[in-house]
């Protein structure tokens, strides 16, 4: 029996216990997990140092190393995410609707767990904890398959969390980690119908495409983030500069970071050089259209391939546009329906942007970096869905549930 099948079966068996747990029992487990992470931070950081050293030896880019890296502050933040999940209302059992039929049948629709969730992700070890916390809170079991770059870190984190669960009513087997880092383990998970109920990929475009194209298990698709900020003609210059800088520089390795800055031509003529100077001082490589190159000599020419690339790095495309229509056309062509922003003082333009842009999150005068479960008050997120079925945007607790109908009768039979 393969590791994937064995651990999926253990997770499925644990579901029998998960279905009987109260919210209080699950919350106690989450708080114990948070305590264990903080108490075990030295061992986790030691394992993380091994992964970082291997990454540097293999030539991993600084932005991807940043995704992988943990420190005491990040571990404390991850643990706080678990505590916040524990404080949130448990959606399982929520009554979504109730009605009575003319024949006397009383029908209720209630939230229920999805079941065994397969999570396939890349180099961010915080996802290991976020996924565990969200899945367990909603009564699900989870089979994690992280990337090889974070194997030592993920192994130590899961060992720490499972040890904490062993002291609670939540079965430790509800949390599983696949340690086989080969492509074969992913391929096996994608076709494990009957043992895994849903697959959630979280990572780059290549990983997500592989999962969507090859899975026979149902998939909740999280998407790549080619995010845009459009600075309109009426934008406040200081606000525009701050939003653009934050959206690109605050943490460029994540999916809600800006990849292309669109600027109205009249605003650009006056203010773009100052914004560019600030970005260049932060070591951002600028790539631009011909009009951009005339204003920013340091920029390199941008191609359609650049506009279609999620860099996750200190690289930014800049395109000067004639107005809102051209900005909307660009976003329709190159956007990935993740997060898009307009900076403007024109309320009509703002409302049109919010209405017409087809994305999971659309912003007026705020950085796209806020597309995040923690920032939305969800405690954490399982991923950011860019699809339109079941869930969209940052996926918190309700997104990890389905529903079922409960029908109460008094002997009715169908004629």
pLDDT, residue 297, reads 94
Query: What does the pLDDT profile of the chain (415 residues) look like in tens digits?
Result: 799 999 999 999 999 999 999 999 999 999 999 999 999 999 999 999 999 999 999 998 887 888 899 999 999 999 999 999 999 999 999 999 999 999 999 999 999 999 999 999 987 899 999 999 999 999 999 999 999 999 999 999 999 999 999 999 999 999 999 999 899 999 999 999 999 999 999 887 788 889 999 999 999 988 778 999 999 999 999 999 999 999 999 999 888 999 999 999 999 999 999 999 999 999 999 999 999 999 999 999 999 999 999 998 999 999 999 999 999 999 999 999 999 999 999 999 999 999 999 999 999 999 999 998 888 888 778 888 888 888 888 888 999 999 999 999 999 999 8
> How far apart are the C-alpha atoms of 241 and 141, rounded to whole Å?
44
User: Nearest Cα to 298, choosing from 274, 271, 280, 311?
Assistant: 280
What's the CA dihedral at 11, 17, 18, 20 to 10 degrees? 160
Q: List b or e across 66-94, with b for residues whose CB sees 16 or more CB atoms inside 10 angstroms.
A: bbbbbeeeebeebbbbbbbbbebebbbee
**Residue at token pair 């560019």:** 276
User: Nearest Cα to 258, choosing from 203, 298, 313?
Assistant: 313
Q: Are 88 and 397 in contact (CB under 8 A)?
A: yes
Q: Which two tokens stand for residue 128?
A: 């290991």
Backbone angles phi, psi at 31, to 5 degrees: -65, -40
Kindly tell me the number of DSSP H helices and DSSP E strands found in the chain: 15, 16
> How far apart are the C-alpha atoms of 165 and 230, rounded to whole Å?
47
Could you tell me the end-to-end alpha-carbon distance of the chain, in angstroms, rounded to an integer? 49
In the three-class reduction of DSSP (H, G, I as helix; E, B as strand; rest coil), residue 408 is classed as strand
Radius of gyration of the chain (CA): 23
pLDDT, residue 71, reads 96
**Strands laid side by side in the 401-408 sheet:** 95-100, 106-113, 401-408
pTM: 0.84
Q: What are the DSSP E strand ranges found in 102-236?
A: 106-113, 116-121, 141-145, 175-177, 198-202, 227-231
pLDDT, residue 224, reads 78
Neighbours of 106 (CB within 10 A): 13
59: left (phi over 0), alpha (psi -120 to 50) or beta: left
**What are the CA-CA distances from residue 159 to residues 45, 70, 154, 165, 177 (Å)?**
14, 17, 8, 10, 9
Backbone angles phi, psi at 58, to 5 degrees: -90, 5
> How far apart are the C-alpha atoms of 104 and 99, rounded to whole Å?
10
């Amino acid at each position: 029996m393969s590791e994937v099948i064995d651990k999926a079966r253990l997770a499925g068996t644990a579901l029998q216990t998960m279905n009987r747990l109260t919210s209080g029992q699950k919350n106690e487990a989450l708080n114990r997990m948070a305590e264990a992470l903080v108490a075990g931070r030295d061992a986790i950081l030691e394992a993380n140092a091994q992964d970082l050293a291997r990454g540097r030896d293999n030539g991993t880019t600084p932005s991807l190393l940043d995704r992988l890296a943990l420190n005491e502050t990040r571990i404390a933040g991850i643990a706080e995410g678990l505590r916040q999940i524990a404080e949130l209302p448990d959606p399982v059992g929520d009554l979504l609707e109730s009605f009575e039929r003319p024949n006397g049948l009383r029908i209720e629709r209630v939230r229920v767990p999805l079941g065994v969730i397969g999570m396939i992700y890349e180099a961010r070890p915080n996802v290991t904890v976020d996924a565990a916390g969200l899945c367990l809170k909603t009564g699900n079991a989870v089979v994690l398959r992280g990337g090889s770059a974070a194997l030592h870190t993920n192994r130590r984190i899961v060992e720490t969390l499972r040890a904490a669960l062993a002291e609670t009513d939540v079965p430790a087997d509800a949390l599983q980690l696949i340690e086989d880092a080969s492509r074969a383990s992913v391929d096996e998970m994608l076709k494990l119908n009957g043992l895994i109920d849903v697959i959630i990929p979280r990572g780059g475009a290549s990983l997500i495409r592989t999962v969507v194209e090859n899975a026979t298990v149902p998939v909740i698709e999280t998407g790549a983030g080619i995010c845009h900020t459009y600075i309109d003609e009426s934008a406040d210059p200081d606000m525009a500069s701050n939003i653009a800088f934050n959206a690109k520089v605050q943490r460029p390795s994540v999916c809600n970071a800006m990849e292309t800055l669109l600027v109205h031509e009249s605003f650009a003529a006056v203010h773009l050089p100052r914004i560019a100077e600030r970005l260049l001082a932060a070591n951002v490589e600028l790539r631009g259209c011909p009009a951009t190159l005339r204003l920013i000599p340091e920029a390199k020419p941008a191609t359609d391939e650049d506009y279609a690339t999620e860099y996750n790095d200190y690289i930014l495309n800049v395109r000067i546009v004639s107005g809102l229509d051209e900005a909307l056309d660009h976003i329709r062509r190159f956007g990935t329906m993740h997060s898009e922003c307009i900076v403007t003082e024109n309320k009509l333009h703002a409302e049109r942007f919010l209405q017409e842009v087809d994305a999971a999150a659309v912003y007026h005068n705020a950085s796209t970096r806020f597309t995040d479960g923690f920032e939305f008050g969800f405690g954490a997120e399982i991923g950011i869905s860019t699809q339109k079925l079941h869930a969209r945007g940052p996926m918190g607790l309700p997104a990890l549930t389905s529903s079922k109908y409960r029908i109460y009768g008094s002997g009715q039979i169908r004629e």
